[in-house]
Amino acid sequence: MVAFFIFKLVIFAALLIFVSYYFVYETAMKLLERRRIKTSGESVQATVLDYKIQKDSSGVNRYYPVLKYTTKENQEITVQSKKERYDKYKVGKQLTVYYMPSNPTEFYISGLIPYIKITTLLIGTAGALLLLFEIVKMFKKI
């Protein structure tokens, strides 16, 4: 009985750490970084130059837009988005991007709501709270 309790506690604790780190902490840090770039960064119009196309494991094409923009210091920057798109923007389309003046290649495309990140944060938080509740419930049974 004690051995099973310890085993269950170790499994729940490991899951709690995993879920808290990867689904809550990492996602929150990415959302805060995006917020930091928007509040501390500069806004500029970028032009879609091209796409890098990669196939995922199921054979679906994923499109990574290549953007070009000019900073407030007249430095021309060409970057590739780290975020894939299932639908392509038209080449030549103008997009608003925010970039950091200290590192102009650090940017994000405005107008894209990070639904997946927000959903991951909410579900991860709910999962972490559920695991924490189960751990507390286990200790109350002793």
Give the distance, in angstroms, between the CA of residue 64 and the centroid of all CA atoms in the same chain.
15
Question: Helix crossing, 115-141 with 26-40: angle to 10°?
Answer: 140
* E strand or H helix at 113: none
Cα of first residue to Cα of last residue in the chain, in angstroms, is: 11
Q: What is the pLDDT of residues 108-129, one digit of tens each?
A: 888 777 888 899 999 999 999 9
The 8 Å CB, 24+ separation contacts for 55-62 are 60/86, 62/86
In angstroms, the CA 121 to CA 23 distance is 6
For residue 12, what pLDDT band results from cuts at 50, 70 and 90? very high
pLDDT at 103: 93
Is the pTM here over 0.85, yes or no? no
What is the pLDDT at residue 57?
Answer: 84
Q: What residue ranges do the domains of the chain occupy?
A: 2-141
